[in-house]
Structure 1
Amino acid sequence: MQYIWEVVLAAEKNGIREADLQYEVPEVRSPYLEVSFYDLNTQTVEQTAVEVNPFYRFFDIFSGVLDINQKEYGKTKEIFVDAVFHYLALTDLRMGMSRKDYYFKFLVEELESGQFGRKAKAAIQLFSSYEKKYIVLALMDVISSRNYREIFKWLFQEIYQDSIIYKSMDCANELYIYVGSAETQEERKRVQFLLDTFLPIGVRTEVFYQEHFGILEVEETMILDKVLLI
């Protein structure tokens, strides 16, 4: 890793927030790197202290403050360096983010902070980071296209790889959903969150978990003891 934005991304992968990082200027530092690690090839961040070279890219900002001939105000300088590097790190990240990246970041934060309601806040914690990514992408697509059903079908099958979604032959607003996983309290909450969030009011659903329902003239769905009748 060579730049502070790389450190931030690596830290977040390891569960360390950018706000928890502590940027420090070591007495001995490489003039060719912005960040210093004992192992120059490391790709992980496991501690909050990050040694930085403030002159690598930001000489104009720090040259006056960190003049080696000025020894006083040591603690104040440490606080200044840390505060400014937090700002610079976030600026680095934002410069590389598209509008879609911004929306993605804010939607995740809003879901996790409860701005979509307490039930949504509790439910979103049941999904992995990988699954949250698809949920937020689907939300963004719904907002822009309003194509609820197709987006719901795509999202559900991304999260539940063995799932199958059928539309009723008798009622256009009725869906039969085979999840393809064991029915547990957690799975029921996850599925209900997806139904409540992505399907419009008026769409009725029947949800089946591990056991598929029987479909006439489809032989593999009509095996005795492994089929539900509807």
Structure 2
Amino acid sequence: MNYIWDLIIKSERAGIAKRDISFAVAEVYSPYMELSLESLNARTAERRVELNPYYRFDHIFDGMFDINNDEDVELREQLFDILIHFLADIDLTQGLNKREFYIRFALRDLENGAYGDKVMRSIGLFGREERDMIALNLLRLYETGEAVYLLKDTMRKVFKRSTIYANCEEKDELLVYVGQEETEEARAKVGLIMDIFLPVRFHVEFYWNRHFGILGLEDTMRQDGIAMY
């Protein structure tokens, strides 16, 4: 972990928002590294980060922190923090293709309530990679209209043991085996996925940690472990 973009990515995965990270000029640093970390092999993010501003940004900060300049120290420190956050955002967007920008726009809509207050409240329950996956599948939904397939794909990626069965002979019905204990958080996650991907015409039955019996599948026919359909 040597660059600010690497730090920001690891921080977001650890649940630390960019606004909670502050940057400061390191008093002691290596001329060959951007971040000045206590451990060179650090894998976890810190909230206060010291760095060498001259490693990549000498043309921006040249002379800003001359040791002989003792005026407006607090102002220069605040300005430095703001500028590094700005430069980190540029770092993160470099190399993104058009589709990745679309994913970010879709995720922003989900987080800002464009798909309803319920979705806006629940999207924060998912990890960063799960949120990106949901936004990607939302884009695919607009492109292909394959709602049931994308519903199955999203459920399987969030709930690894889940299975969805379609019963369309007599009625449009989906039987959803979630594969885990029913909790308030799990209900909220399932609710968000259904709100986004479930076609209006379908009725849904949920089975959490007990599967309904299927003849010929021994795992679903265990005594005292069968849910009634």
Amino acid at match of 2:57: F
**Against the structure 1 CA distance between its residues 69 and 199, is the aligned structure 2 distance closer, same or farther, given a 3 Å change threshold?**
same
Name the residue aligned to 1:154: 153
**Structure 1 residues 94-103 or 150-159, which shifts more?**
94-103
**Distance in 2 of aligned mates of 1:219 and 1:37:** 54
Q: Does 1:96 align with 2:92?
A: no
**Distance in 2 of aligned mates of 1:143 and 1:177:** 23
Amino acid at match of 1:90: D
**Distance in 2 of aligned mates of 1:222 and 1:10:** 44
Q: Does 1:115 align with 2:114?
A: yes
For residues 83-116 of structure 1, what are the alpha-carbon distances to aligned partners after superposition, in whole Å with 9 as ceiling and x for unaligned? 2211111111111333333333344444344332
For residues 9-67 of structure 1, what are the alpha-carbon distances to aligned partners after superposition, in whole Å with 9 as ceiling and x for unaligned? 2333333322232222233332222221222222222332x222222212222224344
Q: Percent identity?
A: 36
Amino acid at match of 2:77: E
**Against the structure 1 CA distance between its residues 188 and 67, is the aligned structure 2 distance closer, same or farther, given a 3 Å change threshold?**
closer
Residue 176 of structure 1 aligns to a residue whose secondary structure is strand
**Against the structure 1 CA distance between its residues 111 and 169, is the aligned structure 2 distance closer, same or farther, given a 3 Å change threshold?**
closer
**Against the structure 1 CA distance between its residues 60 and 210, is the aligned structure 2 distance closer, same or farther, given a 3 Å change threshold?**
closer
Q: What value does the CA root-mean-square deviation take over the aligned residues?
A: 2.8
TM-score calculated relative to the size of structure 1: 0.81
Name the residue aligned to 2:64: 65
**Distance in 2 of aligned mates of 1:55 and 1:62:** 7
Rg bigger for which structure?
1
**Against the structure 1 CA distance between its residues 88 and 171, is the aligned structure 2 distance closer, same or farther, given a 3 Å change threshold?**
same
Residue 76 of structure 1 aligns to a residue whose secondary structure is helix
Contact 2:24 2:81 in 1 (8 A): yes
Amino acid at match of 2:133: Y
**Against the structure 1 CA distance between its residues 68 and 142, is the aligned structure 2 distance closer, same or farther, given a 3 Å change threshold?**
same
For residues 163-185 of structure 1, what are the alpha-carbon distances to aligned partners after superposition, in whole Å with 9 as ceiling and x for unaligned? 32222252363222222333444
Q: Does 1:44 align with 2:49?
A: no
Name the residue aligned to 2:10: 10
**Distance in 2 of aligned mates of 1:222 and 1:27:** 67
TM-score calculated relative to the size of structure 2: 0.82
Contact 1:14 1:46 in 2 (8 A): no
Q: Structure 1, unaligned stretches of length 5 or more? A: none
Q: Structure 2, unaligned stretches of length 5 or more? A: none
For residues 157-210 of structure 1, what are the alpha-carbon distances to aligned partners after superposition, in whole Å with 9 as ceiling and x for unaligned? 222333322222523632222223334444444333322210221122222233
**Structure 1 residues 198-207 or 107-116, which shifts more?**
107-116
Residue 166 of structure 1 aligns to a residue whose secondary structure is strand
For residues 127-157 of structure 1, what are the alpha-carbon distances to aligned partners after superposition, in whole Å with 9 as ceiling and x for unaligned? 4445434322321221222111111112222
Amino acid at match of 1:140: L
Contact 2:12 2:128 in 1 (8 A): no
Name the residue aligned to 1:24: 24
**Distance in 2 of aligned mates of 1:167 and 1:134:** 23
**Against the structure 1 CA distance between its residues 60 and 141, is the aligned structure 2 distance closer, same or farther, given a 3 Å change threshold?**
same
